[in-house]
């Protein structure tokens, strides 16, 4: 899978080494140690950093953040698992599709999943999910769109093996879709919104089918380091406030989103439908994720089945 993240400079590497030495000090260090921390945070297009910045939540950080940009959630999980980043926000599928990893889900968010869609061209002869049988669909492997596609196919009684699934990252999927190389494209906002403005038509959305969850995910290594875990705790509070800000200020958010990303104003406005708010990381969430795990298992996608509870660390819930 393609990864897009910033290479660390010699100075940054030296900083990380210094930070690791702090982490090796006796356990139970004070929270003031966060001042010496540089959190490595994964992001996606117009994601966590833009929202935090728009809401003013990056103005008084007691620690530093180095942002790394990824094309979708699964590469973020890979980077977390490899210790290349400390934290990232992903969709519902990336934390499960690779099986158990050296990461933990530490926060949960939700929307109505209206921006997760299977798109078709305006002149397509595809009228239902059943019509995808024998057709080609582009989707990012292990992404929330992949989970949505699997759920929709199962609901429609179409075997995954009966669909020509092209695993492509969003930019490549966009090119394949627009050039007619694939018949449909499963994707999420803001890509869905941008494509709709360009003429793509939602065959179906994930509303009522996929849970619409997003998750904050941290590496086990970061969670084992008390000062770094304290910094993640603080960041989670800022993310919660920032998400609420986008909900309370949709017009201001869409303007900032359009300016910062170069996105069409209409697409930026449509994208506000996918604003997430924090929800409890409770049994309802765990059960819903286990349902998704079951769908992937039945589709022979997961390397192994497991209980989503085993991937959860709820220490920050209070």
Question: What residue ranges do the domains of the chain occupy?
Answer: 10-111+212-311, 117-205
pLDDT at 8: 39
Are the C-beta atoms of 306 and 99 separated by less than 8 Å? yes
Consecutive H or E run containing 105: strand 103-110
Owner of token pair 């139970």: 28
User: What letter does residue 235 receive in the DSSP assignment?
Assistant: H
Pick from 1-10, 93-102, 145-154, 257-266 the range whose average pLDDT is largest. Answer: 145-154
Write down the mean pLDDT value for the chain: 89
Are the C-beta atoms of 247 and 30 separated by less than 8 Å? no
Same fold, 10-111+212-311 and 117-205: yes
Average pLDDT over residues 199-212: 96
3-state secondary structure of 277: strand
Angle at 28 between CA 22 and CA 31, to 5 degrees: 75
- Per CATH, the number for 10-111+212-311 is 3.40.190.10
pLDDT at 304: 78
Average pLDDT over residues 105-131: 97
Are the C-beta atoms of 292 and 113 separated by less than 8 Å? no
Give the pTM.
0.86
pLDDT at 99: 85
pLDDT at 260: 83
117-205 placed in CATH 3.40.190.10: yes
């Amino acid at each position: 899978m393609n990864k897009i993240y910033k290479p660390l400079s010699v100075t940054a590497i030296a900083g990380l080494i210094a930070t690791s030495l702090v982490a090796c000090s006796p356990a139970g260090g004070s929270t003031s140690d966060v001042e010496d921390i540089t959190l490595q945070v994964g992001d996606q297009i117009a994601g966590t950093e833009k929202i935090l910045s728009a809401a003013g939540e990056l103005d008084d950080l007691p620690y530093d953040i180095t942002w790394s940009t990824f094309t979708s959630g699964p590469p973020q999980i890979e980077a977390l698992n490899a210790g290349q980043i400390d934290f990232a926000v992903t969709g519902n599928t990336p934390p499960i599709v690779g099986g158990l990893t050296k990461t933990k889900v530490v926060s949960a968010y939700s929307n109505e999943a209206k921006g997760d869609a299977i798109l078709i061209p305006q002149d397509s002869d595809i009228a239902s999910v059943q019509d995808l049988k024998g057709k080609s669909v582009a989707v990012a492997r292990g992404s929330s769109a992949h989970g949505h596609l699997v759920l929709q196919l199962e609901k429609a009684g179409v075997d995954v093996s009966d669909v020509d699934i092209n695993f492509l990252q969003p930019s490549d999927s966009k090119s394949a879709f627009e050039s007619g190389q694939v018949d449909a494209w499963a994707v999420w906002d803001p890509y869905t919104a941008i494509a709709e403005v360009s003429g793509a038509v939602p065959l179906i959305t994930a509303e009522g089918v996929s849970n619409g969850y997003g998750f904050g995910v941290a590496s086990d290594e970061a969670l084992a380091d008390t000062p770094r875990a304290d910094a993640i705790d603080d960041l989670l509070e800022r993310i919660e406030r920032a998400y609420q800000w986008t909900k309370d200020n949709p017009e201001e958010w869409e303007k900032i989103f359009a300016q910062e990303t170069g996105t069409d104003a209409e697409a930026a406005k449509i994208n506000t439908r996918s604003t997430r708010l924090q929800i409890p990381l409770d049994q309802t969430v765990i059960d819903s994720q286990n349902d998704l795990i079951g769908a992937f298992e039945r589709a022979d996608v997961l390397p192994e089945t497991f209980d989503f509870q085993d991937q959860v660390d709820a220490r920050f819930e209070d």
